[in-house]
Structure 1
Amino acid sequence: MTGSKAFRAALAASVFVAAPQIARAAEDQSARIADLQRQVDELKAMVLALKAAQGATPATTAAAAPATAPAAPVAVQPVQLAAAPAPSAPPSVPAPEKKKAWYEKLQLRGYTQLRVNEIVSGPKSAPSGISRLRSVQDSGINDTGNFSIRRARLVVQGDISNRVSLYMQGDLSAAVNNQSGTEPRQHFFQMRDAYADVFLDKKKTLKLRLGQSKVPFGWENLQSSSNRIPLDRTDAINAPVPGERDLGAVLYYTPLRVQKIWDELSHDGQKLFGNYGAFALGVFNGQGTNRTERTGGLMTVAMATMPFRLDGLGLDGQVAEFGFTAMRNQVRPEVRSGGVSTLSYDDNHVSVHGMIYPRPFGIQSEWTWGKGPQWDAATSSIQAKRATGGYVMAMYRMPETPVGQVIPFARWQKYRGGWKGATNAPRLETDEYEVGVEWLPLKELEVTLGYANVHRNEADERRTGRAKGDLVRAQVQWNY
């Protein structure tokens, strides 16, 4: 009994002595666990920050506490860290797009045509009063001409806004005549186009064109010289609007289904007349390109043209186009005595056009009827007289050959009427047969070779008769 009491007393004494030590060990262990938890939290924060900086999605990470033996005999359960939830990626906010200034939207392009003409038969020169072999379409056809720059165009175009675009074109090959001396000056920079298009609807089917631009008369007149297959326009279609341009305003309308057909033809590489609308109504000064208005009246012009798919006729992929143009005008031509006529002359014309775009064979034709100023030899004066003529052209388009696109063509033209673009509006009598080929070895380069049998009078009322002969011609055009 005595021994049992002694044992309980000793045990109580040992517990009393060990109690502070056990308490200190428990406190030390709790501190170590808290410190480990803090380090793990800091490590997790660093990993998440690093992954966010790299743009990666943080992966679920289970971090275990490092195994550290407890210093006290108190059993400690290992701490399990819950997996950190993957933070959702912040929504991507696109950087605000900087609005371009209008001058940053402009495009600079152009083309140059180098020509050579050779009269192989017919009168290169003739005595005074007799017609020589000449053409109102190309002054390079003469007795001494070799190489000439037919056109050297620079175009600036672009959108000023969603509703307004501009177009400016100049020609570096223009000539200036009637100076103090008799020799003309070549290669002046002359304005050809300077206009703005104002779109009146969001779909851009209706637009108002303001400034100097092409007069919508004649399909061939509207087609760019850089896009035309033969070297020159025909006399009959060009006579109502020599130079093709005037100062005024035009309203153009193009239905979306029509624009879709033209876009498909353009994508196919067809040579279109440009985006001049399916319907047009315009008013102009009426005196011609870069000429001062003289009559005080306005020239009115209307045009309609419509493409049709011929798939229903068994001509899959073929497209035809038909239309008409009309103009009403009063004009005062230049006169031999100097200056401009004091009298105004009726200058009214209508024309029709039709074509089948070459796939691979195509045909194109236009004809015009009207009345315009014309020199009358019987009365030695200018009178408003009948003018009529046109052309028919056939072509065969081979877009993919080993040497590039090749388009052979043949054209016949005829015209009887005045040429108001020359002094005293001389009468022209033109009959011409032409065959040639256009070759595009590169997109940026075109080569055209042609032969023409010509029977025409010279555009000078002081020379009589008609000259007959043959021409061989060539042109190289580079686009930029």
Structure 2
Amino acid sequence: MFSPINKSLTTFYFKINFILFLVLSIPAAKAQITRPAAQDTVPSSIRPVDDTKGDAPAKSKWYDKIGLRGYVQVRYNRLLETNPLLQSGHDKSVGEHGGFLIRRARLVFSGDVHERVYIYIQPDFASTPGGSSSLHFGQLRDAYVDLSLDKQKEYRLRIGQSKLPYGFENLQSSQNRLTLDRHDALNSGVPNERDLGVFFYWAPAKIRERFSYLTSSGLKGSGDYGVFGLGIYNGQAVNNPEANNNQHVVARLSYPLALKNGQIIEPGIQAYSGIYTVTKDQLSSSNLVGGNFTDRRVAASLVVYPQPFGFQTEYNIGEGPEFDPVTRTIRVKNLKGGYAQAMYMLKLKSHTLIPFVKAQYYEGGKKVELDARYSKTYETEIGVEWQPLQAFELVAQYTISDRTTRDGRDLDNHQFGNLLRLQAQFNF
């Protein structure tokens, strides 16, 4: 039986209209501006090309064009734990034998190597390869080039390994996200959020400046993935080779609207479609048969940025490979799920506090897990982010989780439990 808290998740999700009414009736904080950012605050990668004539500038060195930044996250998840058998598909240190974990250790190398060419390379030194019991391997997360097709840099081609334009929270960096992990519903469609492909992005210059402002101002933006995005990619998840002769196609439309009261809201819609191959190494026994399966979804998003009250919600439906415990086979089945999150930004002198609450629900297959594992998740997260310094922030999150999974090794694994999770993040 599900707890009363988890039984109410679906009701909570469908009452968001009342919350949105309250959000839009609250004036945004005066500190939030809607005019375009000053030119000197706009990253060079989105500034229009200046083709005016004049004296030729001195030729810069390659190291003057490349910037370096990064962040490190350290976690502990065992406080007030009620069920050590409860696990999470996002964090291997949740549950029995979990201890301190370096969740992220990332460096970002980026810069304009040409007036129309921007590069971005991000390795992570806290990765764990599939099937390995060891931690903290170096692994490539992003490696792409943005090629601007016009002088205003409104039309771009992104070539390489990068995030897929499917879902707001999937695009939001872990460095900016409030909750410690992404929700299951949309993330199960694009696990690890990335893949190798070619993508087209378009956004007017003033909207690109707004995307940049939503991130740099601390409002928890997703970054600049255009007003419209369209791409083709392998579809077997990041750092995995293609396993069939079909590529996935993804499209997204999202626009940050600036209201008269200073509030910014961002509605969005996205979808992807392709063929996913369940490979032999994903199967729990030789009796199971993998192969090619339809994999497609459509999702809607709505974000109200915290000025000071914020709200975001996403929901998707679709179909994909899923383990069927009755026939003990993998079949194409329907899936559904989403989340709703409320937050409030408090400024106390040099300190920033953002309390939040998030409820999520998902039912369907997880295509990259063992036997395309069936999963049913009800989860509530209540926490607060504290940032006393720009270079340091601490998150405390109490999680109430009810998870059921089914695969060839365990036909009915139902775990319920609560735990307090802590994360220290260092930005540099």
Does 1:205 find its partner at 2:154? yes
* Map of 2:64 onto structure 1: 104
Aligned-partner Cα distance in 1 for 2:209–2:159: 25
* Map of 1:56 onto structure 2: none
* Map of 2:42 onto structure 1: none
CA RMSD of aligned residues (A): 1.8
Between the two structures, name the one with larger relative contact order (CA 8 Å, sep ≥ 6): 2
8 Å contact from structure 1 (residues 177, 185) kept in 2: no
SS state at 1:185 partner: coil
SS state at 1:184 partner: coil
8 Å contact from structure 1 (residues 112, 152) kept in 2: yes
Aligned-partner Cα distance in 2 for 1:140–1:171: 17
SS state at 1:261 partner: helix
Q: Per-residue CA shift, 1:421-478, capped at 9, x if unaligned?
A: 2121101100011100001110011100000111012475423142111010000000
**Structure 1 276/362 Cα, relative in aligned 2: closer, same or farther at 3 Å?**
same
8 Å contact from structure 1 (residues 119, 141) kept in 2: no
SS state at 2:370 partner: coil
User: Whose strand fraction is larger, Structure 1's or Structure 2's?
Assistant: 2
Aligned-partner Cα distance in 2 for 1:397–1:331: 40
Shift in Å, 1:217? 0.6
One-letter identity of the residue aligned with 1:235: D
SS state at 2:283 partner: coil
Q: Per-residue CA shift, 1:235-285, capped at 9, x if unaligned?
A: 001010101111100000011342243344345431110111110000001
Q: 1:406 aligns with which of 350, 353, 360?
A: 353
* Map of 1:317 onto structure 2: 262
8 Å contact from structure 2 (residues 309, 344) kept in 1: yes
8 Å contact from structure 1 (residues 427, 461) kept in 2: no
Bigger Rg, structure 1 or 2: 1
SS state at 1:258 partner: helix
Q: Per-residue CA shift, 1:159-178, capped at 9, x if unaligned?
A: 11001111111110111343
Does 1:451 find its partner at 2:403? no
Among all aligned residue pairs of Structure 1 and Structure 2, give the percentage whose two residues are the same amino acid. Answer: 40
8 Å contact from structure 1 (residues 419, 459) kept in 2: no
Q: 2:119 aligns with which of 166, 172, 177?
A: 166
* Map of 1:384 onto structure 2: 332
After TM superposition, the score normalised by the length of structure 2 is 0.83
Aligned-partner Cα distance in 2 for 1:112–1:237: 25
List runs of 5+ in structure 1 lacking aligned partners. Answer: 1-93, 125-131
* Map of 1:242 onto structure 2: 191
* Map of 1:372 onto structure 2: 320
Aligned-partner Cα distance in 2 for 1:277–1:214: 13
* Map of 1:346 onto structure 2: 294
One-letter identity of the residue aligned with 2:387: L
One-letter identity of the residue aligned with 1:290: N
* Map of 1:426 onto structure 2: 373
Shift in Å, 1:108? 1.3
* Map of 1:359 onto structure 2: 307
Aligned-partner Cα distance in 2 for 1:103–1:403: 33
SS state at 1:160 partner: strand
* Map of 1:271 onto structure 2: 220
Aligned-partner Cα distance in 2 for 1:203–1:341: 51
User: How many equivalent residue pairs?
Assistant: 370
User: Whose helix fraction is larger, Structure 1's or Structure 2's?
Assistant: 1
Matches within 5 A, 1:174-213: 174-178=127-131, 184-213=133-162
Q: Per-residue CA shift, 1:144-167, capped at 9, x if unaligned?
A: 212001111111111110011111
* Map of 1:151 onto structure 2: 104
After TM superposition, the score normalised by the length of structure 1 is 0.74
Q: Per-residue CA shift, 1:325-360, capped at 9, x if unaligned?
A: 10001011222247x965100110000000211111
**Structure 1 318/96 Cα, relative in aligned 2: closer, same or farther at 3 Å?**
closer
